[in-house]
Structure 1
């Protein structure tokens, strides 16, 4: 279980900052554990595109350039590698016409900046094949990272379900609940939505008891260490009962709609 102090309604600004600082190291270890095919970008490289390059390119009402089909595919690849892999999703996203992708996103963003409403913007972007509320929120979040949170499993579990995994439908109602919870944390701690997403990833993926600089443990007394018996066999090692367990979200069935 997640420590009570690390639940979203209890977490302090200092704890939030410590957890945020652990994201990069956790991502690097996750990336190293996921082999890549020749010519394929690593998760760490995709993560840099998602959180740095894409934000620089698309952030604000007047971005450096409009989002194109290749940009969408890169973000979707990050989503699939960063979270649950869905084998049909990229094929559906790739099947969209390039001009339609650019026009659809440009139209949704134009309406969003006139009247910032994440739910309406998601509806506009989700007209594309393979793009549901979760993926649409990812595309929207790089345009407005301060206010728009990406609908990741970890973010929903932490903000809306007491940091406990649960089945998700990836629908508009769930995103509204996520957005509402995220905005409360934004206002309480003065943080941005994208950082909340990364902290949620750390909380749900990392050993929670070790998340905030624990004291180093002293070695056990000699009398408690394993000893070798006269016959050369080692004494039975006691099963450790303390500590915490990593929380890994259960594998969920794929949406029959083929879009998230």
Structure 2
């Protein structure tokens, strides 16, 4: 079990989340120069640009070009399966727009939204969850392997709808707990997923930084000690 899950405290989780760029850099540094550049550019696009593009449309949807780019991001950040790039490109623009429009309209019914996107070639629950996390982070979390491995009881990993629903059912209570004392804290399933991914990546690639983060966060939460009377 990921030790971050032992304490669902806003101070600790905020501290870990703030290290997302550092964690991404650690992963990128393990890659070849061209792949490293791809990861950094694509991740910035996925996390900051794509959400704004989707939000600007009425009704919400993604385009064929965006779905192909999202697939490239997913494969660069995770397991590379080149055939999926060709398969997802074989969907037509109309098919992508229609399926993604239906998916966003189905929310907050996550199951229906995932199924709506899964009619597209090469789009399973994991890729569908990335589309939904980008366009509706308050409802969905990306199905990242690192996050799935953080939870006890979610192994072996299965890339199907029941498994995704089991995953999201574990993520949502964390959001509720983190937002409990501050409804404006802005914790969403996607932000929780990013925080878990950050912790798992730093824990694997820079254990010293991981330990430091947890120690500093715990120290911040400890009340000041009272001075002993002489």
User: TM-score, length-normalised on structure 1?
Assistant: 0.71
Match of 1:241 in 2: none
* Structure-1 separation of matches of 2:77 and 2:103: 25
Q: Choose the corresponding residue for 2:158, options 163, 169, 176.
A: 169
* Structure-2 separation of matches of 1:153 and 1:172: 15
Q: Residue 102 of structure 2 contacts residue 113 of structure 2 at CA under 8 Å; is this kept in 1?
A: no
Match of 1:59 in 2: 55
Q: Residue 27 of structure 2 contacts residue 201 of structure 2 at CA under 8 Å; is this kept in 1?
A: no
Match of 1:211 in 2: 210
Residues 1:128 and 2:125 are matched in the alignment: no
Structure whose alpha-carbon radius of gyration is higher: 1
* Structure-1 separation of matches of 2:195 and 2:167: 14
* Structure-2 separation of matches of 1:19 and 1:31: 18
Gap runs ≥5 in structure 2:
180-186, 216-230
* Structure-1 separation of matches of 2:172 and 2:157: 20
* Structure-1 separation of matches of 2:131 and 2:52: 13
After superposition, what is the alpha-carbon deviation per residue over 1:182-217, rounded to whole angstroms, capped at 9, x for unaligned?
1100100021111111111122222356325368xx
Q: Residue 134 of structure 1 contacts residue 151 of structure 1 at CA under 8 Å; is this kept in 2?
A: yes
* Structure-2 separation of matches of 1:30 and 1:36: 12
Structure 1 residue ranges, 4+ long, deviating more than 6 angstroms after superposition: none
Alignment of 1:40-119 (within 5 A): 42-59=38-55, 62=58, 66-112=61-107, 116-119=108-111
* Structure-2 separation of matches of 1:181 and 1:15: 18
Q: Secondary structure at the match of 2:75?
A: helix
* Structure-2 separation of matches of 1:150 and 1:176: 12
Gap runs ≥5 in structure 1:
216-260
User: TM-score, length-normalised on structure 2?
Assistant: 0.80
Q: RMSD between aligned alpha carbons?
A: 2.6
Q: Residue 68 of structure 1 contacts residue 101 of structure 1 at CA under 8 Å; is this kept in 2?
A: yes
Structure whose residues are more often helix by fraction: 2
* Structure-2 separation of matches of 1:2 and 1:137: 22
After superposition, what is the alpha-carbon deviation per residue over 1:230-251, rounded to whole angstroms, capped at 9, x for unaligned?
xxxxxxxxxxxxxxxxxxxxxx
